[in-house]
Amino acid sequence: MINRLLLLALAAVSSIHAADWPQRRGPDHNGISTETTWKAAFPADGPKQLWRANVGIGFSGVVIANGRAFTMGSAAGDKDQVVALDAATGKELWRFAFDEPLNPKMYEGGPNSTPTVDGDTVFVASKTGKVHALDVATGKARWSLDLQTVAGKTKSDWGVSGSPLVVAEKLVINFGSGPTVLDKASGKKLWSAGGGENNSFNTPVVSKVGGADVVLAHQKKELIGFRLSDGKKLFGHAFGKGYETHCSDPVLTPAGLFISSGDDGGELLDLATGKPKRVWKNMNLSTFTCTSVVLGDFLFGHDAAGYKRPNQEFRCVDLKTGAIKWGITGFGQGSVIAAGDRLVVLSDNGELAIFKATPDKAEILSRTQAIGGKTWTQPALANGRLFVRNAKGDVVCLDLNG
């Protein structure tokens, strides 16, 4: 009986963290939560706010692992800070600060990169390329480096905005003119295509292409593919015009790789032959700061063609053809994640809406003002709690367990 109770207790503890959100765009880096039992129907005044904290100016997302929430912000005196909070209460557990200018060019400034938790380590990157591997329990640095020293100087107004990506024993960071790959345990450089000019602010993805693990990332004028093992450039696919600024991540889908930019529209690429082959391209889903999610045969995302178009729409697009199924205004340059058959959509002014993920029509199940201020940062859903954050550094934790 005692052994049985012990097993049940251990199972209960492990289930608490079964739906963590340990990196940008969730557990599988696709913007999709594994949770299905959360409540989409809100009370009239919205879901219960469990706690609120301030972490400093910036656009870094919140990640959650083993009861802790991590994010970044800018502190007084030109400092970046990594903040660890108790995910249930918002109590601050530790802060790690280092020199980094605010750099508020054309926006509020502060860090754009989201931390990545891997086991007992949290990896963070600043806009100028300072990378730290921190102990999740204490915030103490295991190793630190400057990518401008390791990979070469880079010319960029907004610097590193993509997040560290862990692939087995490697750490991949989009820096300058290409990815840099480090040994995650030591920070040792394994290879780098970085340095040089950078107008590319997305997080790479890694996928099998032609039998090899390939790092796929947007750069200023092309989508590039580098072999993960040794950094050999396998291909470049021309993509980008206008400002040539790519903030949304490449999206791996069952039909191919979807890439998108506010200036150059959206494009679906077939990688089956080992080289990108265009399936379709149009201006129907031109994402800027938001990365789309895929459910079934459909893309859901914020169209931002021209960035400042007054009637920007949140859209559903047929993945196989690129055709628009529906669009709805009022969400601006917001963000989206998915869980089950529902979409969690955050507008760029902090309004939260839950959509039914259907191509038939824009069906809103609930809608509430979740947080004020500019809200470009993607929310995170973990263990029945939704974490939203604005530019001035307010983080709000909402109870979606009902």
For 198-207, 278-287, 343-352, 356-365, which range has the lowest pLDDT when averaged over its residues? 198-207
Q: Are 250 and 261 in contact (CB under 8 A)?
A: no
Confidence class for position 309, pLDDT limits 50, 70, 90: low
Between 399 and 37, the higher pLDDT residue: 399
Q: Convert the pLDDT of each residue in 332-377 to its tens digit.
A: 989 999 999 999 999 999 999 999 999 999 999 999 999 999 999 9
- Tell me the pairing of strands 154-155 and 196-197: parallel
Confidence class for position 220, pLDDT limits 50, 70, 90: confident
Which helix (H) or strand (E) segment holds residue 73: the answer is strand 68-75
- Tell me the pairing of strands 141-146 and 196-197: unpaired
- At CA 184, angle to CA 180 and CA 190, rounded to 5? 40
133 bridge partner residues = 123, 143
Domains recognised in the chain with CATH numbers: 21-399 (2.130.10.10)
Query: What pLDDT, on a 0 to 100 scale, did the predictor assign at position 14?
Result: 37
Report phi then psi at 352, rounded to 5.
-105, 130
Torsion of CA 88, 89, 91, 96, to 10 degrees: 30
What pTM value is reported for the model? 0.93
Instruction: Compute CA distances 104 → 175, 180, 372, whole Å.
Output: 20, 26, 20
Report phi then psi at 344, rounded to 5.
-105, 110
